[in-house]
Amino acid sequence: MAQDFQSTFVVNEKLCYGCGACIALCPTNALELVGRLAIVTQDDCTKCNHCIPSCPVFALSII
């Protein structure tokens, strides 16, 4: 359920190496690991920011 249609949650594919840290943290299970890349289901992401500091390579952002 998207709450903010103005923003988009972005995974930087060049930085993400599939560690899975962000996936365990998402309260809405909007993230899943596909190969070595975190994939977000945009409709499930509430843009809560919870996962963003968990990424060791700063691959996550909300724009």
Residue 53 binding ligand SF4, by CB under 6 A = no
Rule CB under 6 A: choose which of 8, 20, 39, 61 binds ligand SF4. Answer: 20
Q: 25-58 burial string, b = 16+ CB within 10 Å, else e? A: ebeeebbeeeeeebebeeeebebbeebbeebeee
Q: Which is nearer to ligand SF4, 55 or 63 (CB)?
A: 55
Round to whole Å and give the CA distance between 62 and 35: 22
**Which spans of this chain sit near ligand SF4 (rule: CB under 6 A)?**
9, 11, 16-22, 25-26, 28, 30-31, 38, 40, 45-51, 54-55, 57, 59-60
